[in-house]
Structure 1
Amino acid sequence: MSPPVLPRTLILDYYDSYTNNLLCLFTQLYNDVEVLQKVVVIKADKYNWLEFQEQVLPNIDCIILSPGPGRPDNPSDIGYALELLRSHPMPILGVCLGHQAIGVAFGAKIINTPKITHGHVVPISPVSPKIGLFDSPFWHSSGIENEFEVVVYNSLTVDPSTIPTELEVTAWSVSNSDRPSTVQGLRHRQYPIWGVQYHPESISSTRGAALLQSFLLNVNQHYSSPSSFPPLHSHIVSSCAYRVSVASRSRPSTRPSSALPTPPVTPSPSRTPSRIGQRRGTLRLLEKRLGDVGKQLRTQDVFESLVGGALGSKKGKERAIAEVWLDGQTPTRSTTTSLATPQFLITYSLATKKVTLHRSGRTTSHIVLSETTFWDWFSAGSQTLTAALSDSPAEGWRGGWVGYFGYEMKTESLQGYKRPLRGDRQEEEVDACWGWVDRLTERTSAGEWVVRGVTQDTAGLPFTNTDDEGEDIPMIDWLRSHGVAFGTTSEEWQEYVQLVGTALNNPFTSSKKPASSFPTFRPNATGADYRERIDACREAIRQGESYELTLTTRFSASSPDLDPYSLYLRLRSFNPAYYSTYFNFPTLTTPRGKGLSILSSSPERFLKIDKSRRVEMMPIKGTRARGKKVDEQIGEELRTDHKERAENLMIVDLIRSDLLSCCTPSTVSVPKLIALESYGVHNLVTTVQGTLAENVGSVECVRRCYPPGSMTGAPKLRSVQMLDDFEGEKRRGIYSGCLGYISVDGVSDLSVVIRTIVAEGENLSIGAGGAITWLSDRDKEWEEVLTKVGSVVGKLEENQ
Structure 2
Amino acid sequence: MILLIDSYDSFTNNLANLLEVNAGQKVVTIRNDSFEPETYEEFFHSYLPLFEYVVVGPGPGHPSIESDVGIISWLFRRYRDNPDLTAVPILGICLGFQSLCYEFGNEVSRLTQVKHGQVYEIHPISEDTILGDGTFKSVRYHSLYVENLNDSIIPLAHCYETDGKKILMAVKHKELPFYGVQYHPESICSSNGDCLISNFTNMANVYNQKFRPEALGINLTNLPKGLIEDHAISEKSLISDGLFADTTKKQDISLKKFQLGSGILPIDICEHLYKKNKRANFILLNSASIPGEWSIIGFPIDNETEVITHSLDEASAVKSSSYGSHESTKIELKDGQTPWKYISDKMATKFISRDRIKKTLGNYHSRNLPFFGGYLGLISYEEGQHILLDKLEPISSTPTPDLKLAFITRFMIYDHLTNDWFVVSIRENDAEWVESFSEEAAGIEKVDIDSIPFTVADLCEEADKVSIQYDFPSQSIYKDQFEKCQEYLHSGDSYELCLTTQLKISLPSYIQPWDIYKVLTLRKNPSPFSCFMEFDDCVLISSSPERFLSWKDDNEGKKLVELRPIKGTVRNTPDVDINAATEILKTPKEMGENLMIVDLIRHDLFEFAQDVQVSQLMSVEEYKTVFQLVSVIQGKNIKPGYSGIDVLHKSLPPGSMTGAPKKRSVELLQQIESMQSSGPRRGIYSGVVGYWSVTDDADWSVIIRSTFRYTNDKANKAGNDTWRIGAGGAITVLSDLEGEWEEMKIKLSSALQAFK
1:684 to 2:629 alignment: yes
Change (3 A) 1:350 1:420: same
Render the CA deviation track for 1:752-777: whole Å, top value 9, x for unaligned.
11001103342111100000001100
* TM-aligned CA deviation for residue 510 of structure 1: 4.5
Contact 1:9 1:61 in 2 (8 A): yes
Query: For structure 1, which segment, 649-658 or 786-795, has the greater mean C-alpha deviation from structure 2 after superposition?
Result: 786-795
* TM-aligned CA deviation for residue 294 of structure 1: 4.9
Which residue of 448, 457, 474 corresponds with 1:526? 474
Which residue of 525, 546, 550 corresponds with 1:608? 550
Contact 1:626 1:681 in 2 (8 A): yes
Match of residue 604 from structure 2: 658
Match of residue 464 from structure 1: none
- In 1, Cα distance between the equivalents of 2:499 and 2:744? 10
Amino acid at match of 2:175: Q
Q: How does 1:89-488 map to 2 (within 5 A)?
A: 89-128=87-126, 130-131=127-128, 133-134=130-131, 139-140=132-133, 146-158=134-146, 160-161=147-148, 163-177=149-163, 180-224=165-209, 229-232=217-220, 233=223, 235=226, 236-237=228-229, 239-243=231-235, 254-255=239-240, 272=242, 280-282=247-249, 284=251, 286=253, 288-294=255-261, 296-306=263-273, 309-310=276-277, 323-330=282-289, 332-342=290-300, 343-353=305-315, 354-360=317-323, 362=325, 363-369=327-333, 371=335, 372-386=337-351, 391=356, 396-410=370-384, 413-414=385-386, 418-424=388-394, 427-445=398-416, 446-454=418-426, 488=427
Match of residue 19 from structure 2: 26
- In 1, Cα distance between the equivalents of 2:531 and 2:413? 14
Change (3 A) 1:508 1:420: same
Amino acid at match of 1:786: K
* TM-aligned CA deviation for residue 59 of structure 1: 2.6
Structure 1 counterpart SS, 2:48: helix
Contact 1:403 1:741 in 2 (8 A): yes
Q: How does 1:637-648 map to 2 (within 5 A)?
A: 637-648=583-594
Q: Provide TM-score, normalisation by structure 2.
A: 0.86
* TM-aligned CA deviation for residue 281 of structure 1: 2.5
Render the CA deviation track for 1:167-212: whole Å, top value 9, x for unaligned.
11111113432x5211110111111111000000000011100001
Structure 2 counterpart SS, 1:759: strand
- In 2, Cα distance between the equivalents of 1:397 and 1:60? 47
* TM-aligned CA deviation for residue 228 of structure 1: 6.6
Render the CA deviation track for 1:497-534: whole Å, top value 9, x for unaligned.
12321222223455694343135773541223213211
Which residue of 639, 644, 657 corresponds with 1:711? 657
Q: Give the number of aligned pairs.
A: 689
Render the CA deviation track for 1:669-710: whole Å, top value 9, x for unaligned.
111111112333332111111123232122221111111000
Amino acid at match of 1:9: I
Contact 2:282 2:299 in 1 (8 A): yes
- Percent identical: 31
Match of residue 498 from structure 1: 435
Contact 2:56 2:96 in 1 (8 A): yes
Render the CA deviation track for 1:347-399: whole Å, top value 9, x for unaligned.
11111123111214542211122622212222333244338887379551111
Change (3 A) 1:216 1:308: farther
Match of residue 577 from structure 1: 527
Match of residue 7 from structure 2: 14
* TM-aligned CA deviation for residue 132 of structure 1: 5.8
- In 2, Cα distance between the equivalents of 1:380 and 1:308? 37
Change (3 A) 1:62 1:523: farther
* TM-aligned CA deviation for residue 794 of structure 1: 2.4
- In 1, Cα distance between the equivalents of 2:272 and 2:446? 9
- In 2, Cα distance between the equivalents of 1:521 and 1:552? 21
Amino acid at match of 1:122: Y
Q: How does 1:788-799 map to 2 (within 5 A)?
A: 788-794=747-753
1:779 to 2:735 alignment: no
Match of residue 78 from structure 1: 69
- In 1, Cα distance between the equivalents of 2:513 and 2:682? 20
* TM-aligned CA deviation for residue 120 of structure 1: 0.4
Change (3 A) 1:51 1:437: farther
Contact 1:99 1:197 in 2 (8 A): yes
* TM-aligned CA deviation for residue 559 of structure 1: 1.2
Structure 2 counterpart SS, 1:199: coil
Structure 2 counterpart SS, 1:449: strand
1:550 to 2:498 alignment: yes
Change (3 A) 1:386 1:284: same
* TM-aligned CA deviation for residue 571 of structure 1: 1.2
Q: How does 1:758-769 map to 2 (within 5 A)?
A: 758-761=708-711, 762-769=721-728
- In 2, Cα distance between the equivalents of 1:736 and 1:21? 25
Match of residue 669 from structure 1: 613
Match of residue 489 from structure 1: 428
Contact 1:624 1:634 in 2 (8 A): no
- In 2, Cα distance between the equivalents of 1:231 and 1:564? 60
Which residue of 529, 539, 549 corresponds with 1:597? 539
Structure 2 counterpart SS, 1:754: coil
Structure 2 counterpart SS, 1:499: helix
Structure 2 counterpart SS, 1:224: helix
* TM-aligned CA deviation for residue 213 of structure 1: 0.5
- In 2, Cα distance between the equivalents of 1:440 and 1:29? 49
Structure 2 counterpart SS, 1:703: helix
- In 2, Cα distance between the equivalents of 1:706 and 1:780? 28
* TM-aligned CA deviation for residue 301 of structure 1: 2.2
Contact 2:171 2:179 in 1 (8 A): yes
Contact 1:604 1:620 in 2 (8 A): yes
- In 1, Cα distance between the equivalents of 2:250 and 2:702? 30
Contact 1:324 1:341 in 2 (8 A): yes
Unaligned runs of 5+ residues in structure 1 are 1-7, 141-145, 245-251, 256-270, 311-317, 455-487, 589-595
* TM-aligned CA deviation for residue 722 of structure 1: 0.6
- In 1, Cα distance between the equivalents of 2:471 and 2:581? 27
Amino acid at match of 2:627: H
* TM-aligned CA deviation for residue 25 of structure 1: 1.7
Contact 1:754 1:768 in 2 (8 A): yes
Render the CA deviation track for 1:201-240: whole Å, top value 9, x for unaligned.
0000111000010111112112218797232346325644
Contact 2:22 2:197 in 1 (8 A): no
Output the aligned Cα RMSD.
Answer: 2.7
Contact 1:514 1:567 in 2 (8 A): no
- In 2, Cα distance between the equivalents of 1:392 and 1:228? 52
Structure 2 counterpart SS, 1:243: coil
